[in-house]
Structure 1
Amino acid sequence: MLGTEGDVLISPACWQYAVLLNRFNYSFELEKNLHLKGYHTLSQGSLPYHPKSMQCYLSRTPDRMPSERHQIGNLKKYYLLNAASLLPVLALELRDGEKVLDLCAAPGGKSVALLQCADPGYLHCNEYDGLRFRWLKQTLESFIPQPLVDVIKVSELDGRDLGDAQPGTFDKVLVDAPCSNDRSWLFSSDSQKAACRISQRRNLPVLQIELLRSAIKALRPGGLLVYSTCTLSKAENQDVISEILNSYSNIIPVDIKEMARTCSRDFTFAPTGQECGLLVIPDKGKAWGPMYIAKLKKS
């Protein structure tokens, strides 16, 4: 474990929560309140792709807004999230009318964020785990108006089979893969659960590679794919992407170093040794991540 990020990861009191505003239920009062509390907007438009419709507010302190309750028929005004989880969404560069696949979509924060960026022609949100699938559906109902929900398909399929079922269908694919989530895994007092997770950890790269192979099949030629995890593990990050790049001649890495340059005010990045890969590491006052992001294109 590295120094400062290890301290931040095992100290939930240091964790920060960003506030993603819901453009479908915008509140001027809420935005004014965030400004008064000293929040600032993510990167304030300096990113190569950062649509004005996606507004996320960050605080330098571990201030946490209260969560809004789920109420049927009422859209929530904001979503609380780890700000680093917006970087994979921004890396996808979503445009109106595109066909998008969120392969491992629960609990739904990245799907909600995608819909803050643009109005896709079709969004397929998939989640294999039954409990997380129900959570995903509730999240979408809480944030997205009915007309837009009608262009969203929510499925409970094994992501490894989706590429065969819908080959060459999508303009953009997000694979926010199951991983050894360092935040929740480290902060656990259950030693039995910890032992089980350590044994699972060894099998995760195999699953991650299989999910990526399926995503590549589902992607149309010329389409973009973003892979992300919330772990510091090189075996689940750089090694998985290297394996994919070594096995496909039609998958090319996309340089995303510019994102690290423009976001350095809000995030701390560790070197990955890859032009197509970024790693956000938690730091004091920037307690975001861990979040690994890699960007690929199908030629």
Structure 2
Amino acid sequence: MVLFVCFYYFSLFSLLSLKLENETKGKLEKQICQVVLDHFEKQYTTELGDTWASVRDVLTYPLCWQYAVLLNKFSQSAELENTLHVKGYLPAFQGPLLYRPASLSCYIRRTPGRFPAQKHQAGKLKEYYLLNAASLLPVLALEVKDGEDVLDLCAAPGGKSVAMLQCAYPGRFHCNEYDDLRSRWLKQTIESFIPDPLIDLITVSKLDGRQMGDLKPELYDKVLVDAPCSNDRSWLFSSDIQQAMLRLIRRKELSSLQFQLLRSAIKALRPGGSLVYSTCTLSKAENSDVIDLILNSCSNVMPVDISEMAKAVSQEFTFFSGTQQHELLVIPEKGRAWGPMYVAKLKKM
């Protein structure tokens, strides 16, 4: 009788576990937008070749995604760092980077999972920012120094702005976001991470980035253009098929917008200043094609070699091999599920 009862409960437990596993798998499968996946399948098989299969496996399986923890130097906590160590997090960017401010502290771990997020509380600074670790590469490539005038042209939701302010104290820091909803999100992010004395030195605007160069000609030493793009991770999980199809139709227009933003940013840049362009898509049309067009049409800019930076962080990230020295493309793989993230650096002569 005892044996029968044990067998019964074991069988029941196995059935429940199998049901839960199937439900979880089903939810993941339901979340994936087949229209977008089919589109990506066709495009990225051509552009990435055999690499696409392993990238697709990561992008379509959120349970293997990883999240980094960027510490806020304005709200430091030794207890937080101890907790991160206990949970298996280790400091990122330990390679021989030429530019890695000691004040920029980021923790990552190889295993999937997400550290608990902190809610926004008026008047209280957050201790950390959760992000895709590859999002910090544009910041490292820009090499912001104390006293420089900096423009973050498409700044929302604000993670890269926060990261730049962990690195240095700019003379003038201008965060711009054209979209009204995203602009409010940007303001809240800055309020959550930056103390009042420094916030007073930050300008937040809602200007059309395509007009910034004419409005603020040659005003900045460094410009970041983290351009609006086809966000591969989020698009794959579009719940609204009509919205997904509309996105794919409008996708062809994004490269034109990105080119116009870059051209405007170059106008806003002082001679001798540096510009970093980044996206979170694998799309060649939105990445290297846009940069090539800028280099071919703007005689006053030149590419900047960032291959040494890529080598220095090769322990943390996997890079696509088909890029030039002034650009890099982070491709996600299991155990290093960071990206997609495209980064290119230019200098105004």
Calculate the TM-score normalised by the size of structure 2: 0.85
Q: Quick check: 1:118 aligned with 2:118?
A: no
SS at match of 2:347: strand
SS at match of 1:269: coil
- What code does the residue aligned with 2:121 have? Q
- What code does the residue aligned with 1:54 have? L
Q: Quick check: 1:101 aligned with 2:115?
A: no
Percent identity reads 68
In the alignment, which residue of structure 2 is the partner of 1:203? 253
In the alignment, which residue of structure 2 is the partner of 1:41? 91
- What code does the residue aligned with 1:284 have? K
Q: Note the C-alpha offset of 1:45.
A: 5.2
Q: Give every structure 1 segment of 4 or more consecutive aligned residues whose post-TM-superposition deviation is greater than 2 Å.
A: none
Q: Note the C-alpha offset of 1:36.
A: 1.6
Q: Note the C-alpha offset of 1:34.
A: 0.8
In the alignment, which residue of structure 2 is the partner of 1:73? 123
In the alignment, which residue of structure 1 is the partner of 2:217? 167
Moved more, 264-273 or 97-106: 264-273
In the alignment, which residue of structure 2 is the partner of 1:26? 76
Residues 19 and 80 in structure 1, CA contact (< 8 A), matched pair in contact too? yes
In the alignment, which residue of structure 1 is the partner of 2:335? 285
Q: How many angstroms apart in 1 are the aligned matches of 2:323 and 2:337?
A: 23
- What code does the residue aligned with 1:69 have? K
| Of 273, 283, 299, the match for 1:233 | 283
Residues 125 and 155 in structure 1, CA contact (< 8 A), matched pair in contact too? yes
Q: Note the C-alpha offset of 1:273.
A: 3.0
Q: How many angstroms apart in 1 are the aligned matches of 2:59 and 2:105?
A: 26
Q: How many angstroms apart in 2 are the aligned matches of 1:94 and 1:235?
A: 28
SS at match of 1:124: strand
Q: Note the C-alpha offset of 1:276.
A: 0.5
| Of 305, 310, 318, the match for 1:268 | 318
Q: How many angstroms apart in 2 are the aligned matches of 1:223 and 1:170?
A: 7
Q: How many angstroms apart in 2 are the aligned matches of 1:294 and 1:271?
A: 14
In the alignment, which residue of structure 2 is the partner of 1:56? 106
Q: Quick check: 1:134 aligned with 2:163?
A: no
Q: How many angstroms apart in 1 are the aligned matches of 2:323 and 2:135?
A: 21
Q: How many angstroms apart in 1 are the aligned matches of 2:270 and 2:95?
A: 29
Unaligned runs of 5+ in 1: none
Q: How many angstroms apart in 2 are the aligned matches of 1:3 and 1:221?
A: 43
Q: How many angstroms apart in 1 are the aligned matches of 2:84 and 2:310?
A: 25
Alignment RMSD: 0.8
- What code does the residue aligned with 1:168 have? E
In the alignment, which residue of structure 1 is the partner of 2:138? 88
SS at match of 1:43: coil
Q: Note the C-alpha offset of 1:153.
A: 0.1
In the alignment, which residue of structure 2 is the partner of 1:149? 199
Q: Note the C-alpha offset of 1:194.
A: 1.1
1:8-67 alpha-carbon deviations (Å, 9 max, x no partner): 111111111100000000000001111121111112252110100000000111121111
Q: How many angstroms apart in 2 are the aligned matches of 1:24 and 1:125?
A: 19
Q: How many angstroms apart in 1 are the aligned matches of 2:282 and 2:247?
A: 15
Q: How many angstroms apart in 1 are the aligned matches of 2:152 and 2:73?
A: 20
Q: How many angstroms apart in 2 are the aligned matches of 1:160 and 1:272?
A: 30
The structure having more radius of gyration, on CA atoms, is: 2
In the alignment, which residue of structure 1 is the partner of 2:233? 183
How many residue pairs match? The answer is: 299
SS at match of 2:162: helix
- Judging by fraction of residues, say which structure has more helix: 2
SS at match of 1:243: helix
Q: How many angstroms apart in 2 are the aligned matches of 1:120 and 1:105?
A: 16
Moved more, 254-263 or 35-44: 35-44
Moved more, 227-236 or 2-11: 2-11
Q: Note the C-alpha offset of 1:208.
A: 0.1
Calculate the TM-score normalised by the size of structure 1: 0.99
